[in-house]
């Protein structure tokens, strides 16, 4: 079976699951269960959208990896179904964002064609990332949601530029690290300490991450950016002391901020003991844990979970964004939650596989960096809402409600598929 036919088959399976999910939510929402085609039309629309994406890939990237797009599709469908279950009105808006994401995905594939064209643009991308990160700090357009200054308003839409900055950062790092990996690897004895000048870029990015953290109050975003950097630095140099020093720096920086900002101090205290203040500061995490534990092994059933109170308010604030994983686990159980987590792991496996097959440094670093970005982001939020690590608000890729996140992640998959096609093409030759 060719890669594209395999992808098509996978997408049909995803479409079937989507239909079941929507139908289940729809039936559960009615007092007297009555079937309607409305619920199926969502699934039909969804399948059509991904078939279009598939056709673009079939036309432009015939040899690309056949699993990444279906995984992205299944995660998106899971997210849409949960959002539809929590707040049907938002599902429509999210659907529009998904259309936008797929359009960008198709656009990048059709117009970029070859990711190596990004190589000369690496510094532009680096500067672009910084600009995007700085945008919310501007007066007028920037604004604050839930204590974090991460948003800009452009006309009627709110955007989170940080979601796009991460992709640009990966492109910059792929180029920069490819050029400087020899230099950065030098100066080590066996497990020696690198000379201070090699720490330059590390310190710069660390400073940037800390600035993001301090300026926007966004621990999750700062952690994500810095982790992407450390992961790529490790891949490029193979020097674990970078990781050690980097993590130590991040911890030290956070420690200082810990004392400067109550926001961060709270997060860590809550993580250490969620029940010290279960009705106020610990409320979100405690309710999230109740939802996860309440799901049992196979969940309460789609559409039948304990998510919304009689008054129509969700039991966990930010249920459809930060806490969507808790909602999924409540309704689909530990099995459903584990399935979602394993989808990210399979995504990481396929993405890293592309990187390992690539024969040039830029492709390798780009594919590995993009893959690591998605995996790290998923881990930060899923680990956060389950109480494994301190909770920091960040979207669950493809699943959480949020336009910037969905669009940026489709861009990420598009780039990854371009690299994949290129890698498989060179391997065939």
Partner 1 sequence: MNPQIRRLFFVFAALFLAVIGIGTYWLWRAPDLEARQGNPNEVVRQLTIKRGLVLASDGKTVLAQNRKQKVRGRTWFLRRYPNRGLTAQAVGYSTIERSRTGLEESLNDYLTGSNANLSTLVDRVGDKLRGLTQEGNDVVTTLDATAQRAAMQALAGQCGSVVALEPESGRVLVMASSPTYDPNLIEKSFRRATNVSAPCTPASPLLNRATQGPVFIPGSTFKIVTAAAALDSRRWSASSTFEDPGYCIEYGKKVFNYADQSGPHVYGTVDFGEAVENSVNSVFCDLGKALGVRRLLDFTKRFGFYDDPPLETPGEERSPSGLYSKGKLFDPKDPSQVDPGRFAFGQERLLVTPLQMAMVAATVANGGVLMEPHLVDRITSPDGDIVTRTKPDEVRRVMRAKTAAALTPMMVQVVESGTGTAAQISGVDVAGKTGTAETGRDNENDTGFIAFAPADAPTIAIAVFLQDQDGTGGSTAAPIAKTVLETLLRRIT
Per CB under 8 A, residues contacting partner 1 are 27-31, 33, 231, 234-236, 238, 275, 278-279, 286-287, 289-298, 303-304, 306, 309, 315, 329-330, 334, 337-338, 341-342, 344-345, 348-349, 352, 355-356, 361, 364-365, 368, 372, 375, 379, 382-383, 386-388
Cα dihedral 325/326/332/333 (nearest 10) = 120
Burial 188-213 (b: 16+ CB within 10 A, else e): beeeeebeeebbebbeebbebbbebb
* Shorter beta-carbon distance to partner 1: residue 109 or 233: 233
Closest CB to partner 1 among 88 and 296?
296
Give min distance, CB of 275 to partner 1, in A: 8
91 neighbors 84 (Cβ within 8 angstroms): yes
Q: Which is nearer to partner 1, 100 or 361 (CB)?
A: 361
CB of 56 to partner 1, least distance (A): 28
- For partner 1, give the closer residue by CB, 22 or 315: 315
Nearest to 129 by CA among 174, 163, 178: 163
Minimal distance, residue 138 CB to partner 1, in Å: 35
Q: Tell me how far apart the alpha carbons of residues 390 and 235 are, in angstroms, rounded to a whole number.
A: 26
Q: Write down the least CB distance from residue 197 to partner 1, Å.
A: 23
State how far the Cα of 421 lies from the Cα of 321, in Å rounded to an integer.
Answer: 33
For partner 1, the closer of residues 85 and 122 by Cβ is: 85
Calpha distance 126→94 (Å, rounded): 29
Residue 112 or 339: the one with the smaller Cβ distance to partner 1 is 339
- Min CB(42)–partner 1 separation in Å: 18
Question: Rounded to the nearest whole angstrom, what is the least distance from the CB of residue 103 to partner 1 in the complex?
Answer: 30
Neighbouring-strand partners of residue 314? 308
Largest CA-CA distance found in the chain, in angstroms, rounded: 73
Sheet holding 142-145, edge to edge: 142-145, 148-154, 157-159
């Amino acid at each position: 079976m060719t890669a594209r036919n395999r992808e098509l088959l996978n997408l049909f399976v995803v479409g079937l699951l989507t239909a079941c999910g929507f139908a289940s939510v729809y039936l559960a929402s009615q007092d007297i269960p009555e079937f309607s085609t409305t619920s199926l039309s969502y699934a039909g629309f969804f399948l059509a959208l991904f078939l279009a994406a598939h056709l673009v890939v079939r036309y432009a990237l015939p040899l690309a990896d056949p699993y990444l797009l279906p995984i992205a599709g299944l995660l998106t469908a899971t997210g849409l179904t949960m959002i539809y279950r929590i707040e049907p009105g938002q599902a429509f808006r999210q659907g529009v964002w998904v259309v936008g994401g797929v359009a960008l995905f198709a656009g990048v594939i059709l117009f970029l064609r070859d990711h190596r064209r990004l190589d000369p643009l690496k510094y532009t991308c680096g500067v672009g990332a910084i600009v995007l990160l700085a945008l919310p700090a501007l007066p007028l357009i920037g604004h604050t949601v839930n204590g974090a200054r991460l948003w800009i308003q452009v006309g009627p839409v709110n955007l989170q530029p940080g979601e796009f900055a991460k992709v640009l950062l990966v492109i910059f790092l792929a180029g920069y690290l490819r050029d400087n990996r020899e230099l950065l690897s030098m100066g080590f004895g066996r497990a020696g300490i690198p000379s201070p000048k090699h720490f330059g870029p590390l310190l710069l990015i660390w400073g940037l991450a800390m600035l993001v953290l301090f300026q926007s109050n966004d621990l999750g975003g700062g952690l994500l950016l810095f982790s992407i950097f450390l992961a790529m630095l490790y891949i490029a140099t193979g020097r674990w002391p970078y990781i050690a020093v980097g993590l130590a720096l991040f911890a030290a920086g956070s420690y200082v901020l810990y004392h400067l900002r109550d926001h961060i101090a709270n997060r860590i205290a809550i993580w250490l003991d969620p029940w010290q203040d279960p009705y106020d500061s610990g409320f979100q995490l405690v309710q999230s844990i109740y939802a996860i534990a309440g799901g049992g092994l196979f969940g309460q059933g789609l559409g039948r979970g304990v998510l919304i109170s009689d008054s129509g308010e969700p039991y966990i604030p930010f249920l459809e964004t930060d806490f969507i994983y808790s909602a999924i686990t409540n309704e689909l159980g530990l099995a459903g939650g584990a399935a979602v987590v394993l989808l990210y792991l399979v995504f990481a496996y396929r993405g890293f596989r592309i990187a390992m097959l690539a024969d040039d440094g830029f492709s390798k670093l780009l594919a590995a960096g993009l893959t690591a970005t998605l995996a790290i982001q998923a881990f930060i939020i899923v680990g956060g809402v389950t109480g494994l690590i301190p909770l920091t608000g960040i979207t669950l890729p493809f699943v959480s409600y949020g336009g910037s996140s969905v669009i940026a992640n489709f861009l990420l998959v598009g780039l990854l598929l371009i690299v994949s096609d290129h890698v498989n093409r060179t391997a065939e030759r």
